[in-house]
Amino acid sequence: MNNNPIVEREKGLLELERRITELRAANTTQPVDMTAEIAALEAKYQEILHEVFGTLSPWEKVNMARHPNRPTALDYISRFDRFDELHGDRQFRDDPAIVGGFAKLHGRAVMAIGQQRGRDTKENLRRNFGMPAPEGYRKVRRLANLASRLGLPIVTLVDTKGADPGISSEEHAQSEAIASCLHAFTLARVPIVATVIGEGGSGGALALAIADHVIMLEHSTYSVASPEGCAAILWSDSSKAEEAAARLKLTAQDLQRFGVIDEIVPEPLGGAHRDAGAVVSRVLETVDGALTRLSELPPNRLLEERYGKYRRIGTWHADAEPLPST
């Protein structure tokens, strides 16, 4: 995550913010009235904020989704009424890139499962930058199956560059681990609500995102491959990631038009981390609303509708027109 252009651009704004705070403090203690100067600075600040973050390109959204201060899965889960983490795949180990367990959300017992990246280098190393290994996906499958049997709705939080691409992950059959997650989510006889809170990268993200209701944060992304991966695959040049990001239609707004996702939760100007508390509350309310609606449906109906929804996704007719681009 070096040289995140969003982080770079934020620097000037943060400096301005600091100066405004200083001036405000000084204004109360010093005899000279600086109200006019402060107002001018604040106007300037708002102007720059709108200029920099008013409209974000797909590549800027990718970097917003990867912002180191963006709220992570545990930032959401810690705001549930309560959460008791369950660990391990019962076969090999506990994968720290996946957190999951029993939880209560607005008084409702649920199974919460999320991909967890680190807030700093040390935690990122422990959590493998939020890239789950097969053990992580087997933990997800175990918790999803348990939730289905107990009648607990499943709430997932998606935030990963993708599944871990390592030797040990291949040795432990990463493909099978993801495939069995997809199977478990298509089979679960309980409502599933998935929210993409950051980066939704490839099959590793989809493994937690087959759901009756899929929500995305305004500046999160969800894609068949990371822009770097796509550029490497198609053009053998991962430096063309920005171009790939533009073509992949990976923004929440594009995906809502394609019918791949159901709802978008707005973020404050400048991104979710600018007011994490408000964003988390908004997401939890949206998830709760979806769960309330879905809980009305008997399990058979729920499964029928879920199957129908995924069966319909994707235009394949020769005469189908491409959707207009934004």
Partner 1 sequence: MPMPEWLRTRRSKDSGHRDAALWSKCPKCGEVLYRRDLLANVDVCTRCGHHFRMGAYDRISTIVDGDFTEIGSEITGGDPLGWVDRRSYGAKLHGDREKSGLGEAVVCGFGQIGGFDVGLGVMDFHFRGGTMGTVVGERIAMLLDEARRRRVPCIVFTASGGARMEEGMLALAQMAKTSAAVTEFTEAGNVLITVLTDPTTGGVAASFAFQGDVIVAEPKAVIGFAGRRVIEQTIRQRLPDQFQTAEFLLEKGAIDMVVERRALKEMLVRLLEYTTAGRQTAAQ
- Which stretches of the chain bind partner 1, using CB under 8 A? 163, 165-167, 169-176, 178-180, 182-183, 186-187, 202-203, 206-207, 210, 222-225, 229-230, 232-235, 247-250, 255, 258, 260, 306-307, 310-311, 313-320, 322-323, 325
What is the residue-wise DSSP string for 166-215? Answer: SHHHHHTTHHHHHHHHHHHHHH-SS-EEEEEEEEEEHHHHHTTT--SEEE
139 with 94: CB under 8 angstroms? yes
Please give the C-alpha separations between residue 24 and each of 16, 51, 192, in angstroms, as whole numbers. Answer: 12, 24, 47
Nearest approach, Cβ of residue 176 and partner 1 (Å): 4
C-beta closer to partner 1: residue 43 or 187: 187
C-beta closer to partner 1: residue 50 or 301: 301
Nearest approach, Cβ of residue 70 and partner 1 (Å): 21
C-beta closer to partner 1: residue 69 or 168: 168
CB atoms within 10 A of CB 9: 16
Element (H, E) at 111: strand 108-115
The residue among 120, 99, 136, 115 whose CA lies nearest residue 1 is 120
C-beta closer to partner 1: residue 69 or 175: 175
Nearest approach, Cβ of residue 211 and partner 1 (Å): 10
Q: Where are the beta strands (DSSP E) in 212-254?
A: 213-217, 221-223
C-beta closer to partner 1: residue 49 or 216: 216
Nearest approach, Cβ of residue 139 and partner 1 (Å): 17
Please give the C-alpha separations between residue 275 and each of 56, 74, 160, in angstroms, as whole numbers. Answer: 18, 16, 21
C-beta closer to partner 1: residue 103 or 144: 144
Q: Per-residue b/e over 302-312, b at no fewer than 16 CB within 10 Å?
A: bbeebeebeee
Nearest approach, Cβ of residue 42 and partner 1 (Å): 40
Nearest approach, Cβ of residue 309 and partner 1 (Å): 9
